[in-house]
């Protein structure tokens, strides 16, 4: 193996460790009593269950948390999402795509885990779309 292969393997291992860390010690995993809106979604194919709680002030996410159960990928991706999406506007979050989640995770996930990885983001976007529709 050359040094580039070692570097790539080393980075992949770091990303796996980060995913495991977020799964074992998720950030912002708590129910929020004073949320502006909450949304719950379930991945029927594997049983992942995520509820997102969002506090919004002046169209900006001021607090974001989640609760739920699921595989390491769904829980870690949602944990990472809650850290990165705080402070963003609702419009900024609604433009985020799967590439954003892959960047957070540090790896692309296969087709079997794609729904797991995207569950938190899809749940957050649905909550923000629902609140946007209620304003109109």
**In CATH, what number is assigned to the domain containing residue 125?**
3.90.1010.10
- What per-residue confidence (pLDDT) applies to 48? 96
Question: What's the confidence (pLDDT) of residue 6?
Answer: 47
82 closest CA partner among 36, 109, 51: 51
Predicted TM-score (pTM) of the model is: 0.87
> What pLDDT score does 115 carry?
95
**Residue ranges of the chain whose pLDDT lies below 70:** 1-12, 14-15, 136
C-alpha Rg value of the chain to the nearest Å: 16
CB-neighbour burial class of residue 18 (10 A; exposed 0-12, middle 13-18, buried 19+): middle
Instruction: Report helix, strand or coil for 92.
Output: helix
CB 107 within 8 A of CB 12: yes
Task: Report pLDDT for 30.
Answer: 98
**Number of domains composing the chain:** 1
Give the domain range for residue 22: 3-135
């Amino acid at each position: 193996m050359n040094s580039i292969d070692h570097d790539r393997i080393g980075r992949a291992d770091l990303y796996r460790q980060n995913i495991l860390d977020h799964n074992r010690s998720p950030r912002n995993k708590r129910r929020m009593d004073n949320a502006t809106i909450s949304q719950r979604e379930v991945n029927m194919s594997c049983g992942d269950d995520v509820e997102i709680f969002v506090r919004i002030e002046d169209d900006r996410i001021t607090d974001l948390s989640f609760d739920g159960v699921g595989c390491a990928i769904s829980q870690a991706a949602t944990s990472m999402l809650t850290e990165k999406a705080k402070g963003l506007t609702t419009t900024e979050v609604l433009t985020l795509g799967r590439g954003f989640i892959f960047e957070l995770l540090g790896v692309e996930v296969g087709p079997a885990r794609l729904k797991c990885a995207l569950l938190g983001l899809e749940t957050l976007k649905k909550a923000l779309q629902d609140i946007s529709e209620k304003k109109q």
